[in-house]
Structure 1
């Protein structure tokens, strides 16, 4: 079963592919978008969930999304048409790290996509190259709430604790002007949605050739979450401004 299909099915009831509830997403966009009449770029936009919410909430906004998944971009285009915002959304099929544009953006988003750049600081370096003077970056990434097991590090990555994460961002020339640390409820709700939605699809489609694989993937993910990283993993979103203007 293709990993992309697993992810699409698992996120059916939690379309923002990060442990954030709707109110947290709204507040982060509010702090990032500002006046709401500028240009927004999402590096690793997936199905465009962040951009679509921003475009609906801010009619003066224009947005650009970049992703490697054709099917995700197709979903984004379809949803944009349904919501009536397609004329303000430009989507590019490309590696986020390789995207180039002469346009400079008032907000650059990259939430849960740092792996595409090789880590948090390389993601910020890429974002800086697209940022208009006085613009903001909204970035989301993991951190360790407590010392992880070697298995958790191998599974999720070599994060640091929250304070060290913020220190590194500040040392890189950024000032946090807002932030949100995902609550235990948000973290657990995301994982229950991911595993439960995928498992429900498998049970509802027993004749689909992918059904056994989906059920096994849900069980494996649930086991890894509960036994390997649930007590250690955290997620933070930061709205940042550059000290270099």
Structure 2
């Protein structure tokens, strides 16, 4: 008996502006931090489909940017968007693992949700190696340059229902205060540090689940894969609403080298 093929869900960029809990207001603040004064060059490691890097380049008309991500479909989307927005001559996107990218230091660097580039693979379920990431990033930021570093933290003490959908570990992440201390040890000055709020998280999670409902709307309940898609939607909803909502956080730190 032939198994049903894995359903092809709509791409996340059709439901989300950012692949992280991030409001337009906060994004504008991050862009302002990275572009005042205007940088000559910008690096985005783990850039996804490049939205933040493209906005930085739009706000700094003389800057050149380079985005790196291991997901080829995201890089393809970023490349198209650079062309659509008239930024193709100043934006370069590469589908390559961050460790393999040959990068020179830049005036402005972005790294959001990509610390695993310098640590154990996510699937290993090990604690996130913030220190290794920050050391590597320090070498990519020119003296006096700026880094926007966004990473997962614990916003409240973790409990089993919160950690179960993640790695199952209480020590997978640290608190925002502990992360700020690690940035200082790595040689950065913390200009601003703030966690995403619940409105940002709720919007992000709703967008993440929207691809399931869009698939069901398109294919109908009679499709052989529909039960699996409904199960995955409910699994994601429960993991968030009944698990890590308010416990798992995303911290955004504006750092000066």
Answer yes or no: same fold by TM over 0.5. yes
1:149 matched to 2:159? The reply is yes
Q: Which residue, 181, 189, 199 being the options, matches 1:175?
A: 189
Contact 2:49 2:75 in 1 (8 A): yes
d(CA) in 2 for partners of 1:73 and 1:30? 24
Deviation at 1:210, TM superposition (A): 6.1
1:204 matched to 2:206? The reply is no
d(CA) in 2 for partners of 1:54 and 1:113? 19
Q: Which position in structure 2 is the counterpart of 1:220?
A: 235
1:161 matched to 2:185? The reply is no
d(CA) in 2 for partners of 1:2 and 1:59? 43
Count of matched residue positions in the alignment of Structure 1 and Structure 2: 238
Query: Secondary structure in 1 aligned to 2:174?
Result: coil
Q: Which residue, 16, 21, 24 being the options, matches 2:26?
A: 24
Q: 1:31 to 1:44 in 2, by over 3 A?
A: same
Q: 1:214 to 1:84 in 2, by over 3 A?
A: farther
1:137 matched to 2:124? The reply is no
Contact 2:112 2:149 in 1 (8 A): yes
Query: Secondary structure in 2 aligned to 1:46?
Result: coil
Q: Which residue, 94, 97, 100 being the options, matches 2:96?
A: 94
Give CA-to-partner distance per residue, 1:57-80, whole Å, 9 cap, x none: 221221001111111111111111
Q: Which position in structure 2 is the counterpart of 1:80?
A: 82
Query: Secondary structure in 1 aligned to 2:15?
Result: coil
Contact 2:161 2:242 in 1 (8 A): no
Of 159-168 and 220-229, the range deviating more from structure 2 = 159-168
Deviation at 1:134, TM superposition (A): 1.4
Contact 1:41 1:64 in 2 (8 A): yes
Q: Which residue, 182, 196, 200 being the options, matches 1:186?
A: 200
Give CA-to-partner distance per residue, 1:14-45, whole Å, 9 cap, x none: 22111111110110121123222410000111
Deviation at 1:115, TM superposition (A): 2.4
Of 26-35 and 83-92, the range deviating more from structure 2 = 26-35
Query: Secondary structure in 2 aligned to 1:16?
Result: coil
d(CA) in 1 for partners of 2:239 and 2:47? 26
Query: Secondary structure in 2 aligned to 1:202?
Result: helix
Contact 2:195 2:252 in 1 (8 A): yes
Query: Secondary structure in 1 aligned to 2:256?
Result: strand
d(CA) in 1 for partners of 2:248 and 2:154? 5
Contact 1:44 1:67 in 2 (8 A): yes
- Higher Rg: 2
Contact 1:198 1:215 in 2 (8 A): no
1:237 matched to 2:252? The reply is yes
